[in-house]
Chains A and B, each alone.
Chain A
Amino acid sequence: MELSDSVQKGLQSIADPSLFDLKSFTVLIDIAFRSLLSAHADHGILADPVLEHIERVLVKQCHAAATTCILEMVKQNADKSTISSCLEDLPFDAERIEIFFKSYQNHKEELEGVLASLGSQLPHINDVSWRLQYHMKNGHVHKVNEPFYLLSLNVENGGLEGSAKDINFSCTVEQLQDLVGKMKDAAKSLEKATQM
């Protein structure tokens, strides 16, 4: 796992027992996880009485480094061996690694959720209803005589509201067959992807 110089410097300060004793270390790590997960920006999140005696700039710097490092770890789905080998280089002692890993495990799923919610998502199809109609004639042609389908896809939108809404469209028989074929293809390729 690659970390930039500034992050490494911050983590080194965190690992230094002369700067952060074990209690303030625990508090700082806790704050780092909380600040990533809280829904509202808390300006005073670093104003903890335990961290009061430490230099403000240093605390801010270490907080930034810790949050970045945590995000990178979650992004790469790091397991225990990766984390400990990464932190040992910095050099964290075993106790601190244990503390860090414990809170990492506690918050990993939530953080994964946060990371997964980044980016755009396509709506999920929940249901479909259809109706067959017969087209007899139109304004230009006297005799059309073609069946066509009205489809209504009930989708669960992955958008901001998470609301369900419908997508309506009409298509001819060939188009519907094409659509069904494409969907079957998609399902098949999904199956294929599982058989690696």
Chain B
Amino acid sequence: MEEVDKILIHALRQSGTDVAEDIQSVKQFTSELIVEAVVRCVRVINPALGGGLSPSLPPGMSARFRVGMGLAQACQDLGYKGEIGYQTFLYSNEPEIRSLLMFLVEKLPRESAEASDQPAGKSVVLQRAIAAKIKAQLALPWLPPNCRLPLLCKTQSAGPSLSFRAQPLSLPYSTKSTGKAASKELRAYQREVLLPVTAQPSHQGAVVASLLEQHASELSAAQEWDSEWNSQGLLSRLTPEEYRSRKMTRLHKRIEEQLRSATSEPSPESSSGVPGSSSDLAQLLLSFQGSAPGDHLLPKGTHFTHTQKFTFTQDPGVLVEQMAAVASSMPLGGQSEGEVQASQQAELASLEEQLQQVALRIDRLTDHMKQMNLTVAQVTNELKDRELGNQEKEDTMQVKKQTVDLLPDAENNLAKLQMLVEASAKRVVSLAAQWEKHRAPLIDEHRRLKELCTNQDMESSRQLSEIKDLHEKIRESAEKAKKKETFYKQLISELENLPKDVSRSAYTLRILEIVGNIKKQKEEITKILSDTKELQKEINNLTGKLDRTFAVTDELVFKDAKKDESVRKSYKYLAALHENCNQLIQTIEDTGTILREIRDLEEQIETESGNKTVANLERILEDNKAIRAENLALASKVREG
């Protein structure tokens, strides 16, 4: 019982009951302590039920009685099956209290165990870590900057901070991953010139940012490729390299198409004097973006196009101005400002006129050239047609010429021709036969191969689906493994954080000991049982024997008794002896039962005396007196009132 009491007291302390240190067993519990313990347990188990119960016993007797009744009701609501009432709390006896507390404590820890069973996610762990960090930092006092120790400096002053600026890094293995042999120059460059990655960024602060950025981009690219390969690449039934090259050619084609369509579109700007390159570029970009190119320039373009446009459109004007300035500055001598300006204006005007004329002429000439080009193309086409016609006519002419040559000896030639025709017809027939001969097996072969092909197709699609399934499974199991690993780690950390005051091993040892004891006792019980059985058997045997011998003796003596008087007497004695013996046995049995009853009664007396009956009775009497006094007081109050 000591073990049970220790566990109970430990559990009660955990649930918030203030059990004094010197209390070692349930026997020492006072009524106040019992009430407090039960109320705390009920509150933990069911807060709604325990909310209305006060953990301390009131002084008034009737109030005490009410508290006891409420507690008993609450325990019954929780599912306590044993006998319970106000007397359990007010006039406690040890075994009842123990069983009640055991019931409550058994109900207690399950809830907290359930709560800790749920796997806390990664975020919860992180949040806990953050909370712990903040707590630690809050616990430190703030110090002015001059008094800070280096340890405090880290948390209390931010120190100089750098913004996250990544710069592209050139990594030596980027060529290796493509699988192609790097060119000799590239190798030489990497060996001799390329700086180590930490020396590449222009200032040291960017090193960390650049490295992290580089790694993140590599990871995300790999992930994207993975998902694309799993969704589309596998279905295309190509090797990764083939898939990559096909995608590359597809993209190339698309770019080419876009470029072609963009260049073939007539640019509205090209007819004017301004070079059309900027607008072309703009339109090109626009068509890449997928929106329809309008007749006007882009309303808003990229910074790049803007600068392009700006520089290109500005150029001619600036050039003209500069040229004018240079030209006018030459002849200047001591002329006055106005004259100079006037002459410059005139010069400018004339030059602009010239420029316009030249531009016009250029335009005209371009048009002319275009027309000429067109006519040249037409003429070339015509020439080709004519040449083709010529060829045909020459062919017909040759045939006709041959026929004409054959005409003079018509009979012979006809015969010859017929022979030839027949021979060729025969040859055709034989060839056809031969072809048939060849064809049949070839067709068979073809069919066979086709079938094989379809089979293989089916097989490969089956394998493909299998591969997909496998991929899925692999991913799932990897995820599961990861989850389990984190869970395992978390549990380990939780285990480390658990309070160590309950020595598990001691408990298990004791439990094992108890189990061993029980086993031993069981063995003894079975031994005693078998002994009893044997005894019973022996008794039965003996009774049977006795009965049989008595019957035989009785018969023998009875037979003789008819003849002999003395034998008759002895028969009477025999009967008396038998009866007396029976009586004796009966008496012995009765003594046994009485002894057993006595032992039972003694046990009962012991339990009753263990229940502090006398003390409880005395207390009941006292309480009864107190209630009477209270009642009297109340009655007098009523009378007074």
A binds B: yes
Q: Which of A's residues lie within 8 Å of B, judged by CB?
A: 2-7, 9-10, 35-36, 38-43, 45-46, 55-57, 60-61, 63-64, 67-68, 71-72, 75, 81, 113-115, 117-121, 124, 126, 156, 158-162, 164, 190-191, 193-196
Q: Which residues of B contact A126 (CB under 8 A)?
A: 144-145
Partner of B173, one of A10, A67, A115, A191: A10
Given contacts A71-B211, A126-B144, A158-B161, contact A81 B198 (CB under 8 A): no
Q: How far, in Å, is B203 (CB) from chain A's closest CB?
A: 8
A43-B195, A159-B160, A161-B160 are known contacts. Are A57 and B190 too (CB-CB below 8 A)?
yes
Shortest distance between the CB of B159 and any CB in chain A (Å): 6
Complex Cα distance, B156 from A41, in Å, reads 29
The answer to whether B201 and A158 have CB atoms under 8 Å apart is: no
Say whether A4 contacts B198, CB under 8 Å: no
Q: Contact at A56–B191, with CB atoms within 8 Å? A: yes
Nearest A-chain residue to B153, judged by Cβ? A113
C-alpha spacing A35/B199, complex, angstroms: 8
Inter-subunit contact B158/A121 (CB<8 Å): yes
Set of chain A residues within 8 Å of B135, measured between Cβ atoms: 194
Partner of A71, one of B187, B196, B212: B212
Min CB distance B538 to A, Å, is 71
Across the interface, B209 reaches (CB within 8 A) one of A6, A40, A118, namely: A118
Give me 15 other A-B pairs in contact (C-beta within 8 A), A41-B198, A60-B196 excluded.
Answer: A4-B218, A5-B218, A35-B198, A38-B204, A43-B196, A64-B211, A68-B214, A71-B215, A114-B208, A115-B208, A117-B160, A118-B161, A119-B163, A160-B161, A190-B134
Q: Is the CB of B489 within 8 A of A4?
A: no
Kindly provide the distance from the CB of B588 to the nearest chain A CB, expressed in whole angstroms: 77
A190–B199 Cα distance when bound, in Å, is 41
9 contacts between A and B (CB under 8 A): A41-B204, A43-B199, A45-B198, A64-B172, A67-B198, A119-B163, A121-B158, A156-B158, A194-B132
Chain A residues whose C-beta falls within 8 Å of the C-beta of B154 in the assembled complex: 113
Contact of B211 among A3, A38, A68, A119 (CB under 8 A): A68
The answer for the CA separation of A72 and B216 in the assembled complex, in Å, is 10
Q: Are A158 and B158 in contact (CB under 8 A)?
A: yes
Q: Give Cα A173 to B198, complex, Å.
A: 54
* Contact A117–B159 (Cβ < 8 Å): yes
User: Taking the nearest CB of chain A, how far is it from the CB of B491, in angstroms?
Assistant: 13
| B451 vs chain A, min Cβ distance (A) | 42
- Asked if B140 CB lies within 8 Å of chain A CBs, one says no
Residue interface mask B134-159, A partner, CB < 8 A = 1:
11001000001100000000101111
Complex alpha-carbon distance, A46 and B195, angstroms: 9
Kindly list chain B residues whose C-beta atoms are within 8 Å of the C-beta of A38.
198, 204
Q: Mark contacts of B160-175 with chain A using CB atoms, 8 A cut-off: 1 yes-contact digit, 0 otherwise.
A: 1111100001011110
Q: Tell me if B222 is interfacial: C-beta within 8 Å of chain A.
A: yes
Q: Does B130 contact A (CB under 8 A)?
A: yes
The answer to whether the Cβ of B219 comes within 8 Å of any Cβ in the partner chain is: yes
Q: How far is the CA of A164 from the CA of B144 in the complex (A)?
A: 11
Count how many chain B residues have C-beta atoms less than 8 Å from C-beta atoms of the other chain. 52
Q: Which residues of B contact A191 (CB under 8 A)?
A: 138
B204–A61 contact, CB under 8 A?
no
Q: Is A36 a contact of B207 with CB atoms below 8 Å?
A: yes
Q: Is the CB of A6 within 8 A of B177?
A: yes
Contact B196 A64 (CB under 8 A): yes
Instruction: Assess A64 versus B171: contact at CB under 8 Å? Given A40-B204, A164-B145, A193-B134.
Output: yes
Query: B192's closest neighbor in chain A, by CB?
Result: A56
> Quick one: which of A42, A156, A196 has the most chain B CB within 10 A?
A196
Whether a CB of chain A sits under 8 angstroms from the CB of B561 is: no
A191: min CB distance to chain B, Å: 8
Assess A162 versus B159: contact at CB under 8 Å? Given A39-B204, A43-B195, A194-B134: yes
List, in ascending order, chain B residues with CB within 8 A of A42's CB: 198-199
Asked if A67 contacts B211 (CB within 8 A), the reply is: yes
What's the minimum C-beta distance from A52 to chain B, rounded to whole angstroms? 13
A4 touches B172 (CB 8 A): no
A-B pairs with lowest CB-CB distance, top 6: A158-B158, A4-B218, A196-B131, A35-B198, A194-B135, A121-B158
Asked if A46 meets B196 with Cβ closer than 8 Å, knowing A57-B172, A60-B172, A118-B209, the reply is yes
Return the chain A residue nearest B194 by Cβ.
Answer: A60
How far is it, in angstroms, between the C-alpha of A42 and the C-alpha of B195 when the chains are bound? 9
Establish whether residues A6 and B174, one from each chain, have CB atoms under 8 Å apart when the complex forms.
yes
Structural contact, A117 and B131, CB atoms closer than 8 A:
no
Of residues 204 to 250 in B, which have CB atoms within 8 Å of A's CB atoms?
Answer: 204, 207-209, 211-212, 214-215, 218-219, 222
A35-B196, A36-B207, A196-B128 known; A124 vs B172 contact (CB < 8 Å) = no
Instruction: Please give the distance in Å from B131's CB to the nearest CB on chain A.
Output: 4
Complex alpha-carbon distance, A2 and B203, angstroms: 28
Q: Once the chains are docked, how many angstroms separate the CA of A39 from the CA of B206?
A: 11
User: B377 at the A/B interface (Cβ < 8 Å)?
Assistant: no
B224 → A minimal CB distance (Å): 12
Q: Which residues of A contact B172 (CB under 8 A)?
A: 57, 60-61, 64
Whether the pair A159, B144 counts as a contact (CB closer than 8 A) is no
Bound together, the chains give a CA A45 to CA B160 distance in angstroms of 26
Question: Are A68 and B157 in contact (CB-based, < 8 A)?
Answer: no
- B517 interfacial by beta-carbon distance below 8 Å: no
A60 touches B197 (CB 8 A): yes
Q: Distance in Å from the Cβ of A27 to the closest Cβ of chain B? A: 14
Q: Which one, B127, B145, B163, B196, contacts A63 given CB within 8 A? A: B196
B161 A117 Cβ-Cβ under 8 A = yes
Q: Give the distance to chain A from B126, nearest Cβ to Cβ, in Å.
A: 10
Chain A residue numbers with a CB within 8 Å of B489 are 81
Residue among B131, B138, B145, B204 with max Cβ neighbours from chain A (10 Å): B204
Partner of A120, one of B132, B161, B195: B161
